[in-house]
């Protein structure tokens, strides 16, 4: 018998849209097929390779026939121990390799795991505006109520915790923070982390710091876990995607107390079957890299940032020279209605894509973001195209 009505998707699907960059990349591909030479300066997708020793480890271990089976849901001991050593050396944080760390298939997956582990339908989640769109999307999929909190350049892009306390926080389960911040490039501080830990404890809210950018153009990498009492109420996500040029490898981690890690593991263990062992061994090798590795990567990003600043100057945009991370975030001139108008002007006028800030929330509507994940030659070409458009 034929169906008399189409099959409907779950209601939660109606709460989210396809990720902005997923749809935008399709548009850029259509423009390329139409003969346009598009320069994409939008996405934070590292174009530099991982360290040679990391690639060698992956190749060597992949050749071992014993390394192709399913692996533990909690990651191999070598990787967990390497994460702990990395946190101790660079963040001065002591972590138990057995109970306080959980390797993940990327920190983006961790956002969903944590949300599913802590949030019931109808619970509330504090989400930054502007902020990484996945925080809101994961919350919507979990059928949570979003409470957005504004970040403002006049407050160094930090949340106003006193203003938040004027709200009813009784149903809030999670608060997402992200320092060093994306998209704004702002950094956290010891004082801020102390305040937000106290805020979480006072209101019984789990604080989640998403921390993948701390090694990019940042002289003092910092973890919320270095503060007293953080493990009791906080979770930190971290990743090798940006810090080690391993975005496509999908290696991340969650750090917290044993109970929280077990909650996350209950979700994770029902959603994957463990990471490829050679990949985990190569990731452990990456975490052994010394300061010279980070310095070499940052040296290249510094050179690129100079060109991006020149592009921002051409566009009459204003930016903070002290930003960290692999993007430059800038306020657009007043003659543009919003960031989408400027982005489209540059895309259709000179075949250069720049990320409009509105995708990070309405507090970003008057800002644009340019990625540093484009080599100097291409950045200079983009600059020349924009100069021609402006002249």
pLDDT in tens, 116-162: 999 999 999 999 999 999 999 999 999 999 999 999 999 999 999 99
For range 315-342, the mean pLDDT? 94
Identify the helix (H) or strand (E) that includes residue 149. Answer: strand 145-150
The rounded mean pLDDT for the chain is: 93
Average of per-residue pLDDT across 295-308: 97
User: pLDDT-based confidence at 11, cuts 50/70/90?
Assistant: confident
Q: Where in the chain is the domain with CATH 3.40.640.10?
A: 67-286
183 cis-preceded (ω within 30 degrees of 0):
yes
Going by the DSSP 8-state scheme, the letter that residue 243 receives in this structure is: T
Using pLDDT thresholds of 50, 70 and 90, give the confidence band for residue 17: low
Thinking of the domain 67-286, which architecture would CATH place it in? 3-Layer(aba) Sandwich (3.40)
Q: Average pLDDT, stretch 57-77? A: 93
Tens-digit pLDDT profile for residues 352-378: 999 999 989 999 999 999 999 999 999
C-alpha span between 265 and 117 (Å, rounded): 9
The mean per-residue pLDDT over the stretch 66-92 comes to 95
Q: Tell whether the model's pLDDT for residue 22 goes beyond 80.
A: no
Under CATH, which number does the domain 11-49+292-390 receive? 3.90.1150.10
Confidence at 6, pLDDT banded by 50, 70, 90: confident
Q: What is the pLDDT of residues 30-60, one digit of tens each?
A: 878 888 888 988 878 899 999 999 999 999 9
**Mean pLDDT in residue range 208-234:** 96
75 close to 84: Cβ distance less than 8 angstroms:
no
Residue 60: alpha-carbon gap to chain centroid:
30
Integer angstrom CA distances of residue 171 from 45, 116, 129, 203, 217: 36, 16, 20, 10, 37
Q: How far is CA 31 from the centre of its chain?
A: 27
Alpha-helix runs per DSSP H in the chain = 20-33, 52-62, 77-91, 107-118, 133-141, 161-164, 190-203, 230-233, 258-268, 277-286, 291-314, 339-350, 376-390
Query: 249 Cβ partners below 8 Å, 6+ apart?
Result: 50, 240, 241, 279, 282, 283
Ranges in the chain annotated CATH 3.90.1150.10: 11-49+292-390
DSSP label at residue 176: E
For 90, the token pair is: 């660079």
Predicted confidence band of residue 391 (pLDDT cuts 50, 70, 90): low
pLDDT score of 2:
58
Tell me which of 304 and 15 has the higher pLDDT: 304
Place of tokens 């108008």: 341
Please give the Cα distance from 86 to 95 (Å, whole number). 10
Between 211 and 33, where is the model more confident?
Answer: 211
């Amino acid at each position: 018998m034929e169906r008399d009505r189409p099959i409907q998707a779950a209601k939660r699907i109606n709460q989210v849209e396809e990720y902005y960059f997923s749809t935008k990349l399709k548009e850029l591909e259509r423009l390329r097929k139409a003969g346009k030479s598009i320069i994409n300066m939008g996405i934070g997708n590292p174009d530099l390779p991982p360290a040679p020793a990391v690639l060698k480890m992956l190749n060597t271990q992949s050749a071992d026939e014993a390394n192709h089976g399913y692996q533990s849901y909690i990651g191999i001991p070598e990787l967990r121990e390497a994460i702990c050593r990395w946190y101790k050396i660079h963040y001065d944080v002591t972590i138990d390799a057995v109970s306080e760390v959980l390797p993940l298939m990327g920190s983006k997956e961790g956002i969903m795991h944590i949300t599913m582990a802590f949030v019931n339908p109808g619970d509330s989640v504090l989400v930054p505006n502007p902020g990484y769109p996945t925080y809101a999307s994961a919350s919507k999929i979990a059928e949570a109520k979003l409470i957005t909190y504004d970040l403002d350049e006049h407050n160094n892009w930090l949340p106003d915790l006193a203003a938040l306390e004027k709200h009813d926080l009784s149903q809030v389960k999670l608060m997402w923070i992200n320092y060093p911040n994306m998209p704004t490039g702002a950094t956290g501080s010891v004082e801020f982390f102390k305040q937000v830990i106290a805020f979480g404890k006072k209101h019984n809210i789990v604080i989640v710091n998403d921390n993948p950018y701390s090694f990019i153009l940042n002289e003092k990498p910092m973890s919320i876990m270095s503060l007293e009492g953080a493990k009791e109420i906080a979770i930190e996500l971290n990743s090798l995607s940006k810090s080690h040029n391993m975005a496509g490898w999908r290696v991340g981690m969650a750090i917290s107390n044993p109970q929280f890690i077990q909650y996350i593991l209950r979700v994770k263990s029902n959603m994957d079957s463990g990471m490829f062992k050679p990949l985990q061994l190569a990731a452990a090798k990456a975490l052994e890299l010394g300061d010279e590795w980070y310095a070499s990567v940052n040296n290249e990003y510094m050179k690129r940032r100079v060109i991006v600043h020149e592009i921002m100057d051409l566009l009459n945009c204003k930016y903070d020279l002290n930003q960290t991370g692999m993007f430059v975030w800038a306020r657009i001139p007043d003659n543009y209605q919003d960031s989408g108008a400027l982005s489209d002007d540059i895309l259709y006028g000179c075949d250069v894509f720049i990320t409009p800030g509105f995708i990070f929330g309405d507090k970003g509507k008057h800002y644009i973001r340019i990625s540093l994940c484009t080599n100097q030659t291409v950045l200079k070409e983009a600059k020349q195209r924009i100069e021609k458009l402006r002249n």
